[in-house]
Structure 1
């Protein structure tokens, strides 16, 4: 398709902006007008919507560490158009846009805060990062091996395990490392038996939950507790702890105590 010197192809925009009256541009305008008239007859014509919800959504995303460049990539909307909605175009003397096209509004509002959209330098809660690394250590991966995989020194790795927040970039690296290694036997991937045993003992001493204790939906939730036995929170879970020689977790201890009290009441 032939384009103008500034790259604009033949079509509706070229008909309106460049005055082109070729068959292609004429057909594009006729098609647009037909669609517009059809929508008007059906009461569906809505060329613009209020920009306020879009602006508020963009500001909310910014507070979550998701800037306009990221929103632009996720929505397919040019960053300058988003900037015009938020602050206007000062160089043109215009304030924030009052109305936007419905498709633009829908595209922007569809962008929701998510871990994958956060800027690399955004600080995030370290709960999930700690749990993933602890689970890998419990599986027999020495901390030194994990530090090397993350391009960290042993000292920085240990410090990260004590921090309440980590960079989103680092959290994503740990997520990828966990997804890559949780199902592997470290002894098949360069970890000797002694280092493997030390790692497992280190995790057991500190009661670091193993991989199987976490569901994907819970591992990042600071309020979630590990399910050590697959029955935690029940009297059966308490006995499973004893069978597996794992100290009982608080939910299992509470469930066992409740069962014991109920048994005494029934016997009274």
Structure 2
């Protein structure tokens, strides 16, 4: 007995002629005829973009099972696109169904899609920890909430890579605490002051310097002033008592070059 649900595929591949399968076949034929008449019938798509996307997802740490589950397709279909079907003596598929291509190409290597033990860039995790410390959260409190010892917590923050499961845990903690008052959650006034001073001494960006679109981007810079990366931002830093960041320094230098008096005018 086939494990496929009743529908067009079961009608064609398993020979089922029940009412549901027959109705699915009828709808398929009707839609096909309409598309052919309109000149929009495209039963197949090039498999190469799909193959390249699968490999890119694998490079990010996603296995075929995870990709198949995210796309809602059979893992064997992914294997056929990558390597063909050796048992049938066929090579990698050259064409795929458009709906299959759309489903696979829509899969992104988000943290939720990656295996918990996958190593990833630590930028977002580190920035979230730094921002919470800048808000007055002692690192001991953060370590306790993550179920970590202080030494393991410190090592995680400073490593070149972080486990996906740790990144997810830190993200959840950040979402819980970024607007919370440390004093109402057991932090002492002295501990809060020490945390803020430690963050300031290390130039750690506060919560307000990041948004959801940039905090996980390793190439992004914090927006300390609300105008960082512009000429105005370079002048806002001294007023706020914050060292000038690199984007503002670059914008200031570009402005000076652009407005430098020319020798001809002199």
Give the shorter-chain TM-score range: 0.7 to 0.9
1:149 aligns to what?
145
Q: Give the aligned CA root-mean-square deviation in angstroms.
A: 3.3
> Which of 46, 51, 57 matches 2:42?
46
130-139 or 107-116, larger mean C-alpha shift: 107-116
Q: Using the alignment, how far apart are the partners of 1:54 and 1:28 within structure 2?
A: 27
Q: CA deviation at 1:73?
A: 1.6
2:180 aligns to what?
184
Q: Using the alignment, how far apart are the partners of 2:58 and 2:64 within structure 1?
A: 8
Q: CA deviation at 1:168?
A: 2.1
- SS across alignment from 1:217: coil
The 1:42/1:187 distance shift into structure 2, 3 A limit, reads same
- SS across alignment from 2:103: helix
Q: TM-score, normalised by structure 2?
A: 0.81
1:74 aligns to what?
70
Q: Using the alignment, how far apart are the partners of 1:55 and 1:239 within structure 2?
A: 49
Q: TM-score, normalised by structure 1?
A: 0.81
The 1:157/1:101 distance shift into structure 2, 3 A limit, reads same
256-265 or 125-134, larger mean C-alpha shift: 256-265
Unaligned runs of 5+ in 2: none
Q: Using the alignment, how far apart are the partners of 2:36 and 2:258 within structure 1?
A: 70
The 1:55/1:187 distance shift into structure 2, 3 A limit, reads same
Instruction: Report how many aligned residue pairs link the two structures.
Output: 263
The 1:112/1:225 distance shift into structure 2, 3 A limit, reads closer
Q: CA deviation at 1:142?
A: 0.7
- SS across alignment from 2:158: coil
Q: What CA deviation, in whole Å up to 9, does each residue of 1:58-90 have, x standing for no partner?
A: 122211222211221221111122122212333
The 1:135/1:19 distance shift into structure 2, 3 A limit, reads closer
The 1:94/1:186 distance shift into structure 2, 3 A limit, reads same
1:137 aligns to what?
133
Q: What CA deviation, in whole Å up to 9, does each residue of 1:88-145 have, x standing for no partner?
A: 3334544333332221112112223434423222222112211110110011111111
The 1:198/1:36 distance shift into structure 2, 3 A limit, reads same
Q: CA deviation at 1:16?
A: 4.5
Alignment of 1:35 with 2:31, yes or no, is: yes
2:165 aligns to what?
169
1:107 aligns to what?
103
